[in-house]
Each structure stands twice: as C-alpha cells, then as structure tokens.
Chains A and B, each alone.
Chain A
C-alpha cells in the first residue's frame, strides 16, 4: 500500500477555503493539472456517490466517485474508478482544520493506493508534488499563505 501525505497552510479561514474546494465538480478552478470536469448523470456535485469525469491538461482521463463529504469536518473523501496512472484501490481524503492563530487553514491531503512496486516512488512524487502541492500552491496564490 503506497501512501501520499501533503499538507500546507492557506491564508484564509477554513469557511472560505472550504467554499472553493467542496464543489466536487470544481477541480478545473483550483487544480492546475485539470482542464475540464463534469458530474455524470447530471447529479448535484454534493450528492455522496456522484461520479466526476475529468480530463487533465496532458490529455489523461479520470473518473472518481465521491465517498464522503462533511461540511462539519471540512472533509471530502473520494476513490478513483478509472485512470491512466496504473493505481488500484485508490482512496484520497482532503481535509481542512482551522488555524485559530491568524485566521488561517491547515490543509492536508492523503491518498492510499496499490500499484506496481517499481512505479511507486514515481507515482507518490507525481501525485504529491505534481497534483496535491500544486493545488495547494494555487490556493495560496488565491487566499494568501
């Protein structure tokens, strides 16, 4: 089981940052690697069980199912159904915790998955730095750090 853990501090209260990331269909707005996204079957993007289908800037195509969404915990959990990355049993959670000191947000993004052991290090780096940290960097640009 491979594991990715990336965390950062975003310079705005958790309520505000959460509004930017709770929309399961909004990846293109804040994750640089994502070009376009839609929710299958026309379901609302906060309906647990909905599937987002999205295309990356490099042409890759993914489908992910929303497993859990909590406005109380500022937390979203999802699984990959289909991807070009060669991962199985991929489940990820993105969560915010308020930093009361300074009205900021602690953001952490965790993913666990199975893959070819030879590809693990490269995949952990690509997901951790290429996707999660890049997304946090875009949030820091928007909200401050």
Chain B
C-alpha cells in the first residue's frame, strides 16, 4: 500500500477555498490536468455517491466516486472507480482547516493505493506533483492577489514591426483575481497604436452581460487575472493599423466577441471582429443588444430555422435573450409559449409576444405545454436553464421536436442516456456562441439581420440602466441581484483619453 500526503497554506479565508473545492464536479474549472468533467446519472455535485467522469489533458479518462462530504469539517473523500492509470484501491481525502493566525487556509490532500510491482515510487510521485501540488498552485493563483509589480498591462498583439506613435491613455476596469463584484476597480491603461490588422477605438458604450459575471468569478476560464472583462461595446475608430480596409477613422463600430476586454475607454484590438454601425442604430442600443441579439438571431434562424405555424417554447422569456426570442419568434409566425416563475415576468413575456405563459403549479410544465398544443408538444424549445429544466424539456417536445440547450443558469445538465430521446425522436443541439459568430463574416451576417430587425421594430432592445464605466462594480451588483429588467450599459466618461 502506497500513501501520499501533500499539504499547503493558501493565503485566503477557508470559506473561499472550500467554495472552490467542495464542488466535486468543478475541478475542470481549476485543475490544470482536468480537461472536462461530467457527473454521471444526473446526480448533484454534492450528492454522496455521485460519480465524476473526467478527461485529462493528456487524453486519459478517470471515474471517481464521492464517498463522503462534510461541510462541517470541510472534508471529502473519494475513490477511483475506473482509470487508465494503474492506481488500484485508490481512496483520497481532502480537508481544509482555518489558519486563524492571518485568516488563511491549511489544505491537506492525501491518498492510499496499490500499484503494479515496481511502479510504486513513480506513481506516488505522479500523484503528489501532477495532481496534488499542481492543484495547490492552480487554486493559489485564483485566490491569492498577485504580488506588486504584476499589475495589468493592456495586452498588445505580437507584431513584426512595432507600430509608431504615441499610446492613448484611458481607463480600464480591472480584476486582479477572480471573485465578487468588489474585485472590479478602475485603473489607468494605455491603448498602443494599432499594429497590422488592428484598430484603435474610443468606446461610446459598453454592454454588461451575465457571461461577464461568470468570467469575473472564474466559472468560465475566458479571463485569467489580472485582466479586463467585457464582451461587447460600441465606439468610434481612432486609427487603423496596416492591412485594415473595411473601416475608416471616425467611423462608428461595434463588436460582441471574446477575448474579454471591453470594460475600458480606449482599446486596441483585432479589426476583423468589428462591424460598422448603421446610422439607424444608436450606440447604446448596439452595446446593449448586440451579443444577446446575435444569440437570438442564430438560435432562431440557424440552429433551428423557426417556421410559421411551429410551436416555440422559451424559458426565461422576460430575460435579455428570452424577450428577443419571444418577439422575433412571434413575428416569424410561430406560436410562442413562455415558461417563467412569476406573474410579473409573465406580463413582460406576454408584452414581448408570448401567446401563452406557463408557470409552476399543480401541473408539470410538460402537461401544461401539451394542454396548450392539443397534446402535440413544442416543436422547438429554447432552454437556457439547464439542470432543473432538461428532463421537463425533453418531456414537452413534440414528435421529431428540437431541444436547443443554450445555457445552464441552474447548473450543469449532467449526463443522460440518449435512449430517452427515442420517445419522440428528438434532436438536441448545444450551440456555442463562438461557433456561430466566427469567422467574422458569419458574425457580420448575423449582426446585419439583427440590425434590420431592430430597424423594422421586429425586436426592441430595452436599456434598463446606465452606469458610468467607473461604476462597473455597482452594475454587476445590480445584475446579480436582478434589480433591473432590460440591459445594462456602461458609459465611459467624456474627456478621457487625451493623446500623450
């Protein structure tokens, strides 16, 4: 029997470390060797007995069962069920203890296992360094503030020839580490002159989306701190690098795409991501509606081409994307059913174009949908809820219906037996924004269809609140507390960005 134990001290309160570690299925969000993890049998991440099934970066696959979990002791034990690596009877334990002296965390990770003869040392070393110590380092980098001297610098693309001319000074909203809204703070930045294929712009309005919150907390690993959040903005072109022909200085432009970095007053970025803004679309409408609107565009036209006479079920019909889906699907001639939780949201959904609204009650969602459709069910379902809704969505589909799962607001869906789809010959799609908006021509086509729909009043973008750029932390709190209906935009202050 081999025993391995490693321990460390993390300079963060024990509750913060535990929040990361107790999610048995969340290790693919922090451990560098885990590429992707799923829970089997649609069990919850804190359900003792659940099995996480994960792929390693190097291609291996491992299944591990949660044996014990204690929030009181901040401790869990797990065992390998199957692995490509020959670790037999592997049982491991993680526990955390508060270091009251300095409000830090002691983290202990140990295991015992058998190996084929002669491989004891090699495998013990692998577990200790590649798994335990690498895990310590990854969580440390997420929770410990960077040491001074590592402050954010505006990223510049690698260039063959450094561009000439002065940088433009501006302000960016930076996070130094993943965490709460309080991590957002303004810092001066320099936007360098644009290199080949780049453009430099002054932002007029910046859109705030829930994906920004996921990037801030680290739920999505799109942004490694220190860095700047934000996926969409509108602005005016200041100058162009070489090989940029579709834009001109002074032109109004917009974008909605990764990499993050929109929460700033001036930005130098890849020109291919930018589209010219038509005169009919104002800056704030585009900043508030481009990402959500392009999402609605590809969901309704490309993931599934909604046709007149179809029945469309939309979850969260009062939310940002949900409202646009209701408006647009209605104008496409579909019968629109909204699924929401409260009477107030039902009112918003109806005014957006939902013909019917179902709310939780004595009857299940699928029973209510069947009653509204003479027993047929919905032809297409747009489900961004995830874990809590997936089974209901499948049950509410019409024969040969299409379930479009485009988010997981309630948590990961987990794993399902696709045999259950045979009940109605269902199709399931899991579209990813990036694949419907790149290459840039694809994004431009979607944006043009959206702008036309806005111009013709097929859809309307509602701006709920405006905040100054420097108040981004307040904007995030308002978004997370669901204080607003409609989109939130950040407005960079005038007078920033004098040339140096």
Q: Does A106 contact B98, Cβ atoms closer than 8 Å?
A: no
Q: How distant is B346 from chain A, measured CB to nearest CB, in Å?
A: 50
Contacts of B100 in A (CB 8 A): 5-8, 133
Name the interface residues of B57-112: CB closer than 8 Å to any CB of A. Answer: 97-102, 104, 106, 108
Q: Does B9 contact A104, Cβ atoms closer than 8 Å?
A: yes
Q: Does A106 contact B136, Cβ atoms closer than 8 Å?
A: no
Name the interface residues of A80-120: CB closer than 8 Å to any CB of B. Answer: 97-102, 104, 106, 108
Q: Does B8 contact A101, Cβ atoms closer than 8 Å?
A: yes
In angstroms, Cα B98 to Cα A8, docked, is 9
Name the interface residues of B1-30: CB closer than 8 Å to any CB of A. Answer: 5-9
Contacts of A97 in B (CB 8 A): 7, 106, 108
Q: Does A7 contact B7, Cβ atoms closer than 8 Å?
A: no
Q: How distant is B179 from chain A, measured CB to nearest CB, in Å?
A: 23
**How many residues in A have their beta carbons less than 8 Å from beta carbons of B?**
16
Q: Does B101 contact A99, Cβ atoms closer than 8 Å?
A: no
Q: Does A7 contact B106, Cβ atoms closer than 8 Å?
A: yes
Q: Does B6 contact A7, Cβ atoms closer than 8 Å?
A: no
B474 within 8 A of A: no
A74 within 8 A of B: no
The one of A7, A101, A104 that contacts B98, using a Cβ cutoff of 8 Å? A7
In angstroms, Cα B109 to Cα A99, docked, is 11
Residue of B nearest to A129 (CB): B100
Q: How distant is A7 from chain B, measured CB to nearest CB, in Å?
A: 5
Contacts of A133 in B (CB 8 A): 100-101
In angstroms, Cα B1 to Cα A84, docked, is 50
In angstroms, Cα B136 to Cα A102, docked, is 13
A9 within 8 A of B: yes
Q: How distant is A87 from chain B, measured CB to nearest CB, in Å?
A: 20
Chain B interface mostly = strand
Contacts of B7 in A (CB 8 A): 97-101, 106
Contacts of B106 in A (CB 8 A): 7, 9, 97, 99, 106
A136 within 8 A of B: yes
The one of A5, A100, A136 that contacts B8, using a Cβ cutoff of 8 Å? A100
In angstroms, Cα B132 to Cα A101, docked, is 11
In angstroms, Cα B99 to Cα A100, docked, is 16
Residue of B nearest to A133 (CB): B101
Contacts of B239 in A (CB 8 A): none
B448 within 8 A of A: no
Contacts of A6 in B (CB 8 A): 100-101
Contacts of A101 in B (CB 8 A): 6-9, 133, 136
Contacts of B133 in A (CB 8 A): 101
Binary flags per residue of A20-34, CB closer than 8 Å to B gives 1, else 0: 000000000000000
Q: How distant is A17 from chain B, measured CB to nearest CB, in Å?
A: 14
Q: Does B6 contact A100, Cβ atoms closer than 8 Å?
A: yes
Name the interface residues of B107-133: CB closer than 8 Å to any CB of A. Answer: 108, 133
In angstroms, Cα B6 to Cα A106, docked, is 12
Chain A interface mostly = strand
**How many residues in B have their beta carbons less than 8 Å from beta carbons of A?**
16
Residue of A nearest to B128 (CB): A100
Q: Does A106 contact B99, Cβ atoms closer than 8 Å?
A: yes
Contacts of A106 in B (CB 8 A): 7, 9, 97, 99, 106, 108
Q: How distant is A95 from chain B, measured CB to nearest CB, in Å?
A: 10
Q: Does B99 contact A7, Cβ atoms closer than 8 Å?
A: yes
In angstroms, Cα B5 to Cα A97, docked, is 11
Residue of B nearest to A5 (CB): B100
Q: Does B8 contact A108, Cβ atoms closer than 8 Å?
A: no
Q: How distant is B293 from chain A, measured CB to nearest CB, in Å?
A: 49
In angstroms, Cα B376 to Cα A3, docked, is 63
In angstroms, Cα B97 to Cα A39, docked, is 33
Q: Does B9 contact A7, Cβ atoms closer than 8 Å?
A: no
In angstroms, Cα B147 to Cα A34, docked, is 40
Residue of B nearest to A140 (CB): B101
Contacts of A9 in B (CB 8 A): 9, 99, 101-102, 104, 106
Residue of B nearest to A109 (CB): B100
In angstroms, Cα B252 to Cα A60, docked, is 80
Q: How distant is B487 from chain A, measured CB to nearest CB, in Å?
A: 46
In angstroms, Cα B97 to Cα A5, docked, is 11
In angstroms, Cα B99 to Cα A106, docked, is 8
In angstroms, Cα B52 to Cα A144, docked, is 41
Contacts of A5 in B (CB 8 A): 98, 100
In angstroms, Cα B136 to Cα A100, docked, is 12
Residue of A nearest to B108 (CB): A97
Q: Does B8 contact A7, Cβ atoms closer than 8 Å?
A: no
Contacts of B101 in A (CB 8 A): 6-9, 133, 136
Q: How distant is B256 from chain A, measured CB to nearest CB, in Å?
A: 43
Contacts of B97 in A (CB 8 A): 7, 106, 108
Binary flags per residue of A128-142, CB closer than 8 Å to B gives 1, else 0: 000001001000000
Q: How distant is A20 from chain B, measured CB to nearest CB, in Å?
A: 17
Contacts of A98 in B (CB 8 A): 5, 7
In angstroms, Cα B102 to Cα A97, docked, is 18
Contacts of B8 in A (CB 8 A): 99-102
Contacts of B104 in A (CB 8 A): 9
Residue of B nearest to A104 (CB): B9
Q: How distant is B254 from chain A, measured CB to nearest CB, in Å?
A: 48
Cross-chain pairs A/B with CB under 8 angstroms, 18 sampled: A5-B98, A6-B101, A7-B99, A7-B101, A7-B106, A8-B100, A9-B99, A9-B102, A9-B104, A98-B5, A98-B7, A99-B8, A99-B9, A100-B6, A101-B133, A104-B9, A106-B99, A133-B100
Lowest 4 CB-CB distances: which A-B pairs, in order?
A8-B101, A101-B8, A106-B106, A100-B6
Q: Could you list 17 further interchain pairs (A-B, Cβ under 8 angstroms) beyond the known A7-B98, A8-B101, A9-B99?
A: A7-B97, A7-B99, A8-B100, A8-B102, A9-B9, A9-B102, A9-B106, A97-B108, A99-B7, A99-B9, A100-B5, A101-B8, A101-B133, A106-B7, A106-B97, A106-B106, A108-B97
Q: Which residues of B contact A (CB under 8 A)?
A: 5-9, 97-102, 104, 106, 108, 133, 136
